[in-house]
Amino acid sequence: MPVQSRRRPPRPASTVPPSRATASVGPSPLDDWPEAPNGPGGKAKGGKGSGGKGGKSARRRRTPLWARLTVIFGAVLMLSSGVAIAGMQVAIDQATSTIQQENLLGGAGKSEAEGGKDLDGPIDLLLLGIDARARLDADNVRADTIIVLHIPATHDQAYLLSIPRDTEVQVPAFKKSRYGGGTAKATEAFYHGAQNGGGLAGGAQLMAATVNKLTGISFDGAAIINFSGFKKIIDALGTIPMCVRHEVKSHHMKLVDGEPMWNHEADKARGVKKPVVHKKGCRQMEGWEALDYSRQRYGLPRGDYDRQQNQQQLIKAMAKKAMSDGVMTDIGKLNQLMKAAGEALIVDTGRTPIADFIFTMRGVAANDLVLLRTNDGNFAGNGSGRETLKPISQQMFAAVKNDRLDEFIINNPTVLASTK
């Protein structure tokens, strides 16, 4: 199994111009938005996340202040500047009090040789999106969203890379859930780890080990993102800007007398029922609409690849909205946002002190997330209903492991996700 190279201080200037990948993409459709309307978003019925309780015996991790304050690891880019401006000790104390913490990485965390106790070098985080509604058992959940967040050693940029859910992977044996190992789809690795009492933490640990085996990347931290809980986070922000590139009918929700409901609830309800259809174009979306759109894959031209891009867009839009609305300097907004985040996240920051995260992220606070795509954004089937990573995608993950992603993007600009 490949092992990530030893941590190193920020490297000297390369002969390749430093990456500002966003500049090569052109303006983002999220850049020219009118001000969002004030007030909370719509109130969709149902869809409350349970948050999960897996792995109570896992060791307690350091309090993830930065993850708590920024809602998601993607939004960590705005943490340090916000805290520095606000200087709110009360908010900080509250932020660290209720977040659920688990050992999500298991043996896939960075070793001391890889810089596991510091953040002087590149930073790699594993984000796992699940749909853990209250009616679902913790051992009956799959990770339909698998994202690697990479920050290079220069700490001046951040990248989101998705691993397709149907990628054929070799899942290691996992004693905690009594899984013997085998070949499976990437999305199923989480399920195998959560079985037999493994819980959500066990699912994340086995997924982290599987991604490590697939890519060679080991991680500084991880987060389980309950997408059903995201609605409350977006509602706390008011609305967020999203661009619908292809009209698509929802496979998860219906409108009942104009109110959005999950299908299983709508089917039991009385009233005039209409399908939820996401129309093409850019607009401010309420929580239920943004969440539902980001979960669609059926009916889209590229299926799961379109969904990957839409979910990356969702994370980026949330981070930009929180920054633009001054959430970090408004105690009321910050408290509301933190409360919502506590219902949507389970986090693991490894062995790194919280202060290190805060000061390390300062250099990337003003930069956008760069969205990258795997397999040229198209299904690469292997004849068995699964797919494999194309050579260019294997090289991209190798560039992450070796902290050469900026140079790789310059030489392979097609990996940049389209903004249109």
The pLDDT, as a whole number, for residue 353 is 54
Lowest mean pLDDT among 87-91, 106-110, 150-154, 263-267: 87-91
> Is there a contact between 293 and 278 (Cβ–Cβ < 8 Å)?
yes
Which position has the higher pLDDT, 116 or 349? 349
The pLDDT, as a whole number, for residue 105 is 94
Give the pLDDT band (50/70/90) at residue 94.
low
Kindly state whether residue 309 falls inside one of the protein's structural domains.
no
The rounded distance, in Å, linking the Cα atoms of 28 and 419 is 6
Give the pLDDT band (50/70/90) at residue 367.
low
Task: Produce one character per residue of 209-226: b if its CB has 16 or more CB atoms within 10 Å, e if not.
Answer: bbbbbbbbbbbbbbbbbb
Give the pLDDT band (50/70/90) at residue 326.
low
The rounded distance, in Å, linking the Cα atoms of 404 and 162 is 18
Mean pLDDT, the chain, as a whole number? 74
Kindly state whether residue 175 falls inside one of the protein's structural domains.
yes
Kindly state whether residue 279 falls inside one of the protein's structural domains.
no
- For the stretch 288-314, pLDDT in tens is 999 899 888 888 887 877 887 888 788
Instruction: Find the domain containing 67 and state its range.
Output: 58-236+328-415
Kindly state whether residue 357 falls inside one of the protein's structural domains.
yes
369 residue type, one letter: L
- For the stretch 36-51, pLDDT in tens is 333 333 344 443 333 3
The rounded distance, in Å, linking the Cα atoms of 282 and 54 is 38
The pLDDT, as a whole number, for residue 357 is 60
CB-based contacts of 220: which residues, under 8 Å, 6+ apart?
109, 110, 116, 119, 123, 124, 125, 349, 350, 352
The pLDDT, as a whole number, for residue 7 is 44
CB-based contacts of 50: which residues, under 8 Å, 6+ apart?
132, 133, 134, 136, 138, 226
The pLDDT, as a whole number, for residue 20 is 39
> Is there a contact between 327 and 337 (Cβ–Cβ < 8 Å)?
yes
Kindly state whether residue 6 falls inside one of the protein's structural domains.
no
The rounded distance, in Å, linking the Cα atoms of 32 and 17 is 28
> Taking the model in full, what pTM does it have?
0.72
Kindly state whether residue 284 falls inside one of the protein's structural domains.
no
Kindly state whether residue 14 falls inside one of the protein's structural domains.
no
- Tell me how many domains the chain contains: 1
Say how many C-beta atoms besides its own lie within 10 A of residue 342's C-beta. Answer: 19
The rounded distance, in Å, linking the Cα atoms of 121 and 112 is 12
Mean pLDDT for the stretch of residues 191-216: 95
Q: Residue 155: which CATH number?
A: 3.30.420.590
Q: Above 80 in pLDDT, residue 336? A: no
The pLDDT, as a whole number, for residue 22 is 39
Q: Above 90 in pLDDT, residue 359? A: no
Kindly state whether residue 323 falls inside one of the protein's structural domains.
no
For residue 278, list its beta bridge partners: 248
For residue 225, list its beta bridge partners: 129, 345
Mean pLDDT for the stretch of residues 52-63: 39
For residue 350, list its beta bridge partners: none
Q: Above 90 in pLDDT, residue 285? A: yes
The pLDDT, as a whole number, for residue 406 is 92
Q: Above 50 in pLDDT, residue 179? A: yes
Give the pLDDT band (50/70/90) at residue 323.
low
For residue 80, the SS3 value is helix
Which position has the higher pLDDT, 229 or 233? 233
Share of the chain above pLDDT 90, in %: 33
The pLDDT, as a whole number, for residue 237 is 83
Lowest mean pLDDT among 25-39, 97-111, 345-359, 400-414: 25-39
Report which of 179, 208, 180, 209 is spatially closest to residue 196, judged by C-alpha positions.
179
The rounded distance, in Å, linking the Cα atoms of 78 and 366 is 7
Q: Above 70 in pLDDT, residue 117? A: no
Q: Above 50 in pLDDT, residue 6? A: no
Give the pLDDT band (50/70/90) at residue 260.
very high
